Structure 1
Amino acid sequence: MQEFDFTNLNIDTEGIGIFGSSVVQSPACDGDPNDTLRYYYKTLHYIQEAMQYDSYKTSLELLATCSIVSAYEMLDGSRQDWERHLKGVFWIQRSQVIHGDSSGLKQAVWWAWLCQDVWAAFREKRRPFTFWRPLRTLDELDPYELAARSVYFFAQVVAFCSREDTEAGKNDPLGRIASAEALKEALETWRRHLTAEFQPLPYPTSKEDVFESIWIHSPVFAVAFQTYYCAHILLLMNSPIIGGLDQYTQQRKRLMECVGKVCGIALTLSDYPSSVMCSQCLYIAGIPLESKRERECVLSLLEACRERSGWPVKPLGEELKARWEEASETP
């Protein structure tokens, strides 16, 4: 199976030239910011016209174009349009039985779509649209497929944290704890199957560092680990605690360990493809932080990701600061 980087949300394919160059203008990029909007509407018009042809409805071009459109909507912050098109891509893929174990471009588009859908689901506190269950075991996967599988497990955790599942769990805290433990075990099983490519490499550190730097090469494997730790962070923040102060203290310690790992990995990432998913992981890792020094470090890392990718239009750091202020005002 062809290797692919699931962190790269821009799918390029021959025959799709309508969208122009980059889907979003970087803050440091010259040019008219309305150019991207013009290409966006031209693309939507093109899709509408092309859908008259049956051959287009099942083409690779449609899949790739829809993936690029939804990526633009995510980057541009158009939440309502993005949600609608994510669901549209879901139905297109479902009708063609496209999933994470498909081959070629179909597989790449599915994983790129899942990365977007999981982030949207987290933001909206809903369950991800996908209900696919992989048939291939972890033993059968190569390193790149193992990296992509981390997003699948993360999607299961986002579903656990959804408003729907949270409300249902209020009447059965023991059942919810059992569900959280099952997800943790799935994550640990994934980790036990990781190959040498996922091992951290030596990297210079200093006692003055806010977080200990963790260098994993290549970035796709680094982001897979960030995703793994973010899944644990969400489970720890959304699981009932019935063991009293001791259990709370243990969970808080584990929570801060996972936060440190996400931020430590982010310190060594400087490439464009990983920037979007890295910033999403940093946002999640930043939520439980209380230390001013650690918060400032996360905000700096988020801004560095934004400068590389141009995403999002409204800085995630601003949203994170608003969450911190809201948390400080809560009795």
Structure 2
Amino acid sequence: MSYRRYSGLSNSIDVQNAATVHSASPAPGFPSQLPQTPSAEAAISPVTQATSVTPGQAPYEWWDLVAHDAAKSASSYQALKDSNSRWSFEPIDLSRSTAASPSQFLHSRQSSQEHTQPIHQTTRPASIRNGIGTNHDNVAKEPWNTSAPVSLSEQEMGYLRYYVKHVGPIFDLFDPERTFTEYIPHLAMRNVGLLKSVLAVSARFKSLHTPVRDRQTASTTGHHRQRSSFTDDDDAVSTQLYFETLSYLSKAMQYQSYTRSKEILATAALISSYEYFHVDRSADWEKHLKGVFWIQRSQETNGERGGLQGAVWWNWLRQDIWAALWQNRRPLTIWEPTIPVVTLRGHEFASRATFLLARAIRYATHDEGNTNDLSSRIADGERHLSDLQEWYSNLPPTYRPLPVVESDASAIFPPVWIHPPFHAAAMQHYYSAKILILLNRPSVGGLNAYHDSQRMLNEAVSMVCGLAQSPTALEFPSAMVHFQALYVAGRCVRVPEQQKALYEIFERVLESNRFPTKSLLSDLQRTWSTF
């Protein structure tokens, strides 16, 4: 198979900075390069990783984990190389090795690229082409940033526009400052690694949402030849950009100032998001979530930090929630909010609902405090339900349903419309949390208590399914939340007619999202077969 290759920003480190990078020391106690033997690779398996990571070690632990897993799959992407393209990634790029100096690496890369022609020729200062800046002026003081804004090819600008319009808003679901959409693109214009991670996520998401017929039309119609370079192989382009992001990181990670920067925080979040959308590599993605967790802890990031740190934390938590649901494990977060519910503002209620869902998942894993004491389980369940009720009782009016056109009287789950859409997404988190707690709370109150729980479960399931059928349910960015809520709700539906109705809603939502895999439908059917 031949690919019409992406060609753009080069990753190599500046020769003038080679000595600086070469002499930079890894974190104390960490190897200077990735292990090269199978036995050594096994030694750094995530299964054997220590659970306690110091702040200084955290970025290196995360990087070595990501690089190790990427190196295992790098050989499968060698087909992306061909004689008519520039594939600016080599396996050596995944090592912080001091065996070969950056200047030697750069020279070998430049020599090999003299024989290839990129699609888009762009003239850039050497410091921009190299990805690491050399001019420590007032605009770009850090050596791992460029001294001037990066100039983009037409193809790169297309992916950047797509990111701003479609992808960034997903990450900014509950963020009124729109950090991923409005701030990170500007930050990326002076950091090649961050920029490539932005473009990689954009290309990956676009590959999921470009209809096959559109790609075929673009690639076979001469009039659309230019467009085909943008749409024909977005997945392959995203893979290239992902590996080139890692190549950049292998150099920048040798600056200790970079390991404490906002750029690494944003880049780690976007790498995780790329893997989140890359469903066939979900196992690696889930392991790397823990690495992002380490980086955030090293920078004392939590849900009550403002700006970039807070935005990254909430985006990470939403991903970790899905991983925890899918893998039936505890969420990684250990943070607890300190701001009282009664003082929350509109968008803060949405974020608090996300936290309440994470806590409900922790409760549902039966691992909260490692206790099997029945009275403690009951008390914890009641406390969580009380916290949910406190949240619900203090909601502003914008979280309440609006009128909708009456559906068929025979509809099992009538549509429910809450506007704005991100408030509907918050309500999905609320009802999902309620379902998980009710399903896992021991009941010792007799038949009446059982019927009360069933009534609350039925109401929650009806709301989840109704919200997933609202007029805006299939629109991004809130659409990404509905499939998770349906996945939770489906696990307590026992009536065949309700199962059929929920299945059809779930199928429509998954088709709209193009993510995650439709195997979730099979998971749900297997659950129902056990009832």
TM-score, normalised by the number of residues in structure 1? 0.89
Q: Summarize the alignment of residues 232-271 of structure 1 with structure 2, pairs less than 5 Å apart.
A: 232-268=434-470, 269-271=473-475
Q: Distance in 2 between matches of 1:71 and 1:291?
A: 36
> Which digits, 9 at most, give the CA deviation of each residue in 1:33-62, with x for residues without a partner?
333333332223332332122232222222
Deviation at residue 279 of structure 1 after TM alignment: 0.5
- Closer, same or farther: CA 141–245 of 1 in aligned 2, 3 Å: closer
What is the SS of the residue equivalent to 1:18? helix
Checking the alignment, whether the CA contact within 8 Å between 1:157 and 1:235 is kept in structure 2 is yes
Deviation at residue 136 of structure 1 after TM alignment: 1.7
Checking the alignment, whether the CA contact within 8 Å between 1:75 and 1:312 is kept in structure 2 is yes
- Closer, same or farther: CA 280–225 of 1 in aligned 2, 3 Å: same
* Alignment match of 1:5 (pick from 154, 160, 173): 173
Report what 1:17 is aligned to: 195
Q: Summarize the alignment of residues 153-172 of structure 1 with structure 2, pairs less than 5 Å apart.
A: 153-165=356-368, 168-169=371-372, 172=373
Residues 1:321 and 2:490 aligned together: no
Partner amino acid for 2:411? Answer: D
Q: Distance in 1 between matches of 2:369 and 2:432?
A: 18
Checking the alignment, whether the CA contact within 8 Å between 1:75 and 1:313 is kept in structure 2 is no
Q: Distance in 1 between matches of 2:412 and 2:175?
A: 26
Partner amino acid for 1:183? Answer: H
Q: Distance in 1 between matches of 2:268 and 2:506?
A: 27
> Which digits, 9 at most, give the CA deviation of each residue in 1:113-151, with x for residues without a partner?
011112212233322211112222223321001111101
RMSD: 2.3
Q: Distance in 1 between matches of 2:295 and 2:367?
A: 25
Q: Which fold has the larger relative contact order, with Cα–Cα distance below 8 Å and residues 6 or more apart in sequence?
A: 1
Which shows bigger deviation, 173-182 or 41-50?
41-50
* Alignment match of 1:185 (pick from 386, 396, 421): 386
Which shows bigger deviation, 292-301 or 139-148?
292-301
Report what 2:348 is aligned to: 145
Which shows bigger deviation, 228-237 or 154-163?
154-163
Quick check: which has more Rg, 1 or 2? 2
* Alignment match of 2:249 (pick from 37, 44, 47): 47
* Alignment match of 1:200 (pick from 401, 409, 413): 401
Q: Distance in 1 between matches of 2:262 and 2:506?
A: 34
Checking the alignment, whether the CA contact within 8 Å between 1:125 and 1:163 is kept in structure 2 is no
Report what 1:280 is aligned to: 484
What is the SS of the residue equivalent to 1:287? helix
* Alignment match of 1:67 (pick from 269, 274, 284): 269
Q: Summarize the alignment of residues 77-116 of structure 1 with structure 2, pairs less than 5 Å apart.
A: 77=279, 78-116=281-319
> Which digits, 9 at most, give the CA deviation of each residue in 1:70-112, with x for residues without a partner?
1222222223211221111111111111111111121111100
Report what 1:297 is aligned to: 501
Report what 1:173 is aligned to: 374
Unmatched runs of 5 consecutive residues or more in structure 1: none
Partner amino acid for 1:246? Answer: N
- Closer, same or farther: CA 61–296 of 1 in aligned 2, 3 Å: farther
Deviation at residue 275 of structure 1 after TM alignment: 1.8
What is the SS of the residue equivalent to 1:222? helix
Q: Summarize the alignment of residues 216-227 of structure 1 with structure 2, pairs less than 5 Å apart.
A: 216-227=418-429
Aligned residues: 322
Partner amino acid for 1:112? Answer: N
Partner amino acid for 2:524? Answer: L
Deviation at residue 166 of structure 1 after TM alignment: 9.1
Q: Distance in 2 between matches of 1:160 and 1:66?
A: 28
Q: Distance in 2 between matches of 1:273 and 1:7?
A: 12
What is the SS of the residue equivalent to 1:94? helix
Q: Distance in 1 between matches of 2:466 and 2:456?
A: 15
What is the SS of the residue equivalent to 2:311? helix
Q: Distance in 2 between matches of 1:75 and 1:6?
A: 19
Checking the alignment, whether the CA contact within 8 Å between 1:303 and 1:315 is kept in structure 2 is no
Q: Distance in 2 between matches of 1:292 and 1:34?
A: 42
Q: Distance in 1 between matches of 2:175 and 2:528?
A: 28
Runs of 4 or more consecutive aligned structure 1 residues displaced over 4 Å after TM superposition:
7-10
> Which digits, 9 at most, give the CA deviation of each residue in 1:248-287, with x for residues without a partner?
2321222111100111111111211112221001110111
Q: Distance in 1 between matches of 2:174 and 2:442?
A: 32
TM-score, normalised by the number of residues in structure 2? 0.57
Unmatched runs of 5 consecutive residues or more in structure 2: 1-171, 189-193, 216-231
Partner amino acid for 1:217? Answer: H
- Closer, same or farther: CA 144–47 of 1 in aligned 2, 3 Å: same
Q: Distance in 1 between matches of 2:497 and 2:289?
A: 37
Report what 1:38 is aligned to: 240
What is the SS of the residue equivalent to 1:255? helix
Percent identity of paired positions between Structure 1 and Structure 2: 35
